């Protein structure tokens, strides 16, 4: 086939056939050139005249995807799969044709990728969420069979994201970006392919949150111009220092991407100026011993920032990441982050699973020995998803858990025997118990952390040794689901609570049925319900009690089914169980003894708690219970009266109502600043309720802003978005009303 076709309308050349083959042969001298050539030509022919949105011929896409796989050093079968990944879906080619023309292995891989592609993971129509969730389950199953299927799919997605700007529809661009951000990027992170993950995140972020992306990019540009000299001096200083010690190392600098900066603003609640690792130096050496040697040399030559030192060589991250991180102070007192690692660690950090394909015994293949050295089964972080899927009854619930789970970072804890249990940050002893074993989680009633008994809501820290205290049988409290954060623990707790609730509803239902019979002067027996069961199409007596207890069936409806010939007995007052138990579904769930029913509760105005916040109640004389956030300063003055403190937790409200979150923002006094701010809040789905401003100086304003939010996470998200604005100096959640005079200028 003619090679002149390799020019895109944009004039940009894409990977030619011999270039692709050369690339593969560079890392796999045993590569079967003939099959690569055949796949390249086959793909071009099969896609023929098809076009991409960009105006490029369609086959440019599989060729580019193959190029990305080659840059990850994947095997020939994977590269061929990339070339052929769209032929089953988009052309007349059949599975058996692929198996015959190429190999059964390649046909199977292409089939796997095709199946993944057919799974619709996100839909603009929320009523299709269930379908979407079930699809995701299929997706997890398909990719858990062969990690190469997932790798090809990720490269396919990466190339589609790189060309997403050509997609004509804005809604589609946003839907595809959201799906990439919520599912593909976290999956790439799970298998450690950071190179792909960070590019996917950054590209999605650019489409999803363009104004924040632009403000961060602008600030980084300004920062870079500002730091240019410092960075080059530091670079020379490091190079000289290594030379003096006769160390042959590779030093280079790396700038954080906009999305990674955004995550820091959002997660850590810091301002742009406080991010010390926008730029980091990497020192890449030959052996782990040299890593520590370099660290010693650095710490002797410069002052280090102790809190910022991390040793991921001794305790690798959950995805196998290894490196030493330290932050040193330059001669001018600038903080500089330095990462020290071996070439191999660097390779695994960038390519993850893909780093374990190696040329050995004259063939190029996945090397389990190499994977074992790096911490074992490369799919071990995918398998829990499969396990979780098996334990979660409801597909939508599963999807929610998976999304939560994949987004969080890790904390490392240990069993008393020293076994490492890695959990998402914010995990509690309950999560720990379930991570060890479902049975241990189910019977957990308390925990010793580092030998001391601690409440179950305690957030675990790196290095904590946790011993689970177990009771005889499952006894979960209704608020435990809000204490646990891992999908596994939450779905198990939900299951337990559901079971327990079912028993409780059955008890209420049986009571109601009994009373209804008594009111009519009839003898009650379960056998008298049998005909009614048939009429109501209910399976058994317990199921009947349960729906009666839940209030889905009223007492009159039941009696009508039991005595169908009796006619309308209007004397019977109809009611549903729902009304009886309504009290229990109040938005707040109160844990702790000594609270009389009917005691009034209200949210304090000093800290304005919103759902998701950790809260305590304070029983004030004559005021009922006043609810504060756990970190509210006002609580300090009650410290000596802890008998009046009541442990409270949020209960999931049946319908999610909005709460008012308050923040204090210091903003530059320039035209356009306020407009920018309101735009950012709007884009973050925050409903602005009120803005109060007070002039601080001719150059700055302080503003108190109230927004309607769904929970505390939503509020932190908005605050982080506000911080990213170029006009904003600082933004924080408001705790105590400042004692300054406030002029109300309605927004």
Instruction: Give residues in contact with Mn ion (CB under 5 A).
Output: 86, 156
Q: Are 687 and 708 in contact (CB under 8 A)?
A: yes
Residue 325's Cβ-side half-sphere holds a number of Cα atoms within 13 Å equal to 16
Q: Are 381 and 318 in contact (CB under 8 A)?
A: yes
Query: Could you tell me the smallest distance in angstroms from the CB atom of residue 163 to Mn ion?
Result: 11
Exposed, middle or buried by CB within 10 Å (0-12, 13-18, 19+), for 413?
A: buried
Q: Are 94 and 88 in contact (CB under 8 A)?
A: yes
Query: Could you tell me the smallest distance in angstroms from the CB atom of residue 108 to Mn ion?
Result: 18
Query: What single string gives the DSSP state of each residue in 43-103?
Result: HHHHHTT-B-TTSSBTTHHHHHHHHHHHHTT--HHHHHHHHHTTHHHHSS--HHHHHHHS-
CA gap 53, 711 in Å, rounded:
40
CB-nearer residue toward Mn ion: 200 or 291: 200
Query: Could you tell me the smallest distance in angstroms from the CB atom of residue 312 to Mn ion?
Result: 35
Distances (CA, A) of 48 to 41, 61, 80, 206: 10, 12, 18, 32
CB-nearer residue toward Mn ion: 86 or 405: 86
CB-nearer residue toward Mn ion: 47 or 628: 47
CB-nearer residue toward Mn ion: 81 or 659: 81
CB-nearer residue toward Mn ion: 135 or 712: 135
Query: Could you tell me the smallest distance in angstroms from the CB atom of residue 89 to Mn ion?
Result: 8
Tell which residue, 420, 568, 397, 640, has the closest CA to residue 497: 397
Of 19, 32, 90, 504, the catalytic one is 90
Q: How far is CA 735 from the centre of its chain?
A: 28
Q: Are 429 and 458 in contact (CB under 8 A)?
A: yes
Distances (CA, A) of 336 to 312, 341, 350: 18, 16, 22
Query: Could you tell me the smallest distance in angstroms from the CB atom of residue 2 to Mn ion?
Result: 24
CB-nearer residue toward Mn ion: 154 or 626: 154
CB-nearer residue toward Mn ion: 162 or 293: 162
The CA-to-CA distance between both ends of the chain, in Å, stands at 65
| E strand map for 343-488 | 357-360, 363-366, 410-414, 420-424, 444-449, 452-454, 466-470
CA gap 701, 676 in Å, rounded:
14
Q: How far is CA 289 from the centre of its chain?
A: 35
Query: Could you tell me the smallest distance in angstroms from the CB atom of residue 153 to Mn ion?
Result: 9
CB-nearer residue toward Mn ion: 86 or 613: 86
Whether 394 sits among the annotated catalytic residues: the reply is: no
Query: Could you tell me the smallest distance in angstroms from the CB atom of residue 81 to Mn ion?
Result: 11
Query: Could you tell me the smallest distance in angstroms from the CB atom of residue 86 to Mn ion?
Result: 5
Query: What single string gives the DSSP state of each residue in 462-520?
Result: TT-BEEEEE-SS----TTHHHH--SHHHHHHHHHHHHHHHHHHHHHHHHHHHHHHHHHT
Query: Could you tell me the smallest distance in angstroms from the CB atom of residue 95 to Mn ion?
Result: 17
Whether 89 sits among the annotated catalytic residues: the reply is: yes
CA gap 739, 731 in Å, rounded:
18
CB-nearer residue toward Mn ion: 84 or 430: 84
H/E stretch holding 694: strand 687-695
Of 22, 33, 89, 377, the catalytic one is 89
CA gap 106, 84 in Å, rounded:
9
Query: Could you tell me the smallest distance in angstroms from the CB atom of residue 65 to Mn ion?
Result: 6
Distances (CA, A) of 92 to 46, 88, 96, 98: 8, 7, 12, 11
Query: Could you tell me the smallest distance in angstroms from the CB atom of residue 156 to Mn ion?
Result: 4
Residue written as tokens 């035209």? Answer: 671
CB-nearer residue toward Mn ion: 63 or 349: 63
CA gap 89, 111 in Å, rounded:
9
Q: Are 213 and 257 in contact (CB under 8 A)?
A: no
Query: Could you tell me the smallest distance in angstroms from the CB atom of residue 184 to Mn ion?
Result: 13
**Tokens matching residue 117:** 């592609």
CB-nearer residue toward Mn ion: 159 or 488: 159
H/E stretch holding 41: helix 33-47
Torsion of CA 678, 680, 685, 687, to 10 degrees: -20
Tell which residue, 445, 457, 420, 450, has the closest CA to residue 435: 420
Residue nearest to Mn ion (CB): 156
CB-nearer residue toward Mn ion: 110 or 558: 110
Q: Which of the residues are catalytic?
A: 89-90
């Amino acid at each position: 086939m003619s090679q002149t076709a390799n020019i895109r309308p944009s004039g940009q050349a894409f990977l030619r056939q011999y270039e692709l083959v050369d690339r593969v042969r560079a890392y796999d001298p045993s590569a079967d050139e003939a099959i690569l050539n055949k796949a390249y030509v086959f793909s071009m022919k099969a896609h023929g005249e098809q076009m991409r949105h960009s105006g490029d011929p369609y086959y440019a896409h599989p060729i580019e995807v193959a190029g990305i796989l080659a840059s990850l050093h994947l095997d020939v079968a994977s590269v061929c799969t990339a070339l052929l990944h769209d032929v089953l879906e988009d052309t007349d080619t059949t599975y058996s044709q692929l198996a015959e023309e190429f190999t059964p292995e390649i046909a199977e891989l292409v089939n796997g990728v095709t199946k993944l592609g057919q799974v619709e993971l996100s839909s603009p129509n929320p009523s299709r969420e269930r379908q979407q969730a079930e699809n995701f389950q299929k997706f997890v199953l398909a990719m858990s069979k062969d990690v190469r299927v997932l790798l090809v799919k990720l490269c396919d997605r990466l190339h589609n994201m790189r060309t997403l700007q050509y997609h004509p529809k804005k809604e589609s661009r946003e839907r595809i970006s959201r799906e990439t951000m919520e599912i593909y990027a976290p999956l790439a992170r799970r298998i450690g392919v950071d190179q792909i993950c960070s590019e996917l995140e950054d590209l999605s972020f650019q489409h999803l949150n363009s104004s924040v992306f632009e403000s961060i990019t602008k600030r980084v540009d300004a920062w870079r111009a500002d730091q240019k000299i410092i960075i080059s001096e530091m670079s020379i200083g490091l190079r000289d220092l290594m030379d003096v010690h006769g160390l042959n190392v590779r030093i280079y600098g790396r700038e954080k991407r906009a999305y990674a900066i955004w995550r820091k603003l959002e997660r850590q609640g810091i301002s742009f100026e406080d991010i010390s690792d926008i730029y980091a130096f990497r020192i890449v050496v030959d052996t782990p011993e040299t890593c520590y040697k370099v660290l010693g040399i650095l710490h002797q030559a410069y002052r280090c920032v102790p809190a910022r030192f991390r040793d991921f060589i001794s305790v690798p991250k959950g995805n196998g990441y290894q490196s030493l991180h330290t932050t040193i102070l330059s001669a001018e007192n600038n903080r500089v982050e330095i990462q020290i690692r071996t070439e191999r660690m660097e390779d695994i950090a960038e390519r993850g699973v893909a780093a374990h394909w190696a040329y050995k015994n004259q063939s190029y293949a996945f090397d389990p020995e190499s994977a074992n050295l790096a911490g074992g089964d490369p799919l071990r972080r995918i398998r829990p998803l499969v396990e979780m899927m098996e334990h979660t009854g409801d597909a939508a619930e599963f999807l929610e858990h998976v999304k939560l789970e994949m987004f969080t970072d890790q904390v490392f804890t240990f069993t008393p025997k020293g076994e490492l249990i890695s959990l998402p940050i914010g995990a509690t002893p309950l999560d720990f118990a379930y991570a060890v074993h479902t049975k241990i989680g189910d019977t957990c009633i308390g925990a010793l952390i580092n030998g001391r008994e601690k409440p179950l809501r305690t957030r675990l820290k790196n290095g904590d040794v946790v011993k689970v205290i177990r009771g005889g049988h499952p006894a979960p409290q209704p608020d435990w689901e809000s204490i646990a954060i891992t999908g596994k623990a939450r779905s198990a707790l939900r299951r337990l609570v559901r079971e327990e609730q079912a028993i409780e509803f059955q008890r209420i239902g049986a009571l109601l049925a009994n009373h209804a019979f008594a009111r009519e002067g009839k003898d009650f027996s379960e056998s008298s319900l049998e005909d009614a069961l048939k009429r109501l199409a209910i399976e058994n007596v317990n199921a009947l009690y349960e729906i009666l207890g839940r209030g889905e069936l009223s007492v009159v409806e039941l009696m009508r089914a039991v005595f169908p010939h009796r006619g309308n007995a209007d004397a019977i007052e109809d009611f549903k169980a729902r009304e009886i138990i309504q009290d229990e579904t109040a938005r707040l769930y109160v844990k702790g003894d000594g609270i009389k029913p009917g005691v009034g509760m209200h949210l304090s105005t000093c800290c304005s708690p919103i759902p998701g916040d950790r809260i305590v109640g304070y029983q004030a004389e004559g005021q009922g219970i006043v609810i504060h956030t756990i970190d509210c300063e006002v609580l300090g003055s009650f410290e000596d009266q802890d008998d009046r403190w009541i442990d409270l937790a949020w209960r999931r409200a049946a319908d999610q109502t909005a709460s008012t979150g308050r923040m204090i923002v210091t903003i530059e006094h320039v035209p356009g600043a306020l407009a920018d701010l309101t735009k950012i809040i709007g884009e973050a789905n925050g409903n602005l309720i009120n803005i109060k401003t007070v002039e601080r100086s001719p150059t700055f304003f302080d503003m108190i802003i109230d927004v309607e939010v769904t929970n505390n996470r939503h509020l932190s998200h908005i605050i982080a978005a506000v911080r990213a604005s170029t006009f904003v100096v600082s933004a924080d959640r408001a705790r105590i009303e400042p004692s300054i005079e406030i002029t109300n200028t309605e927004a």
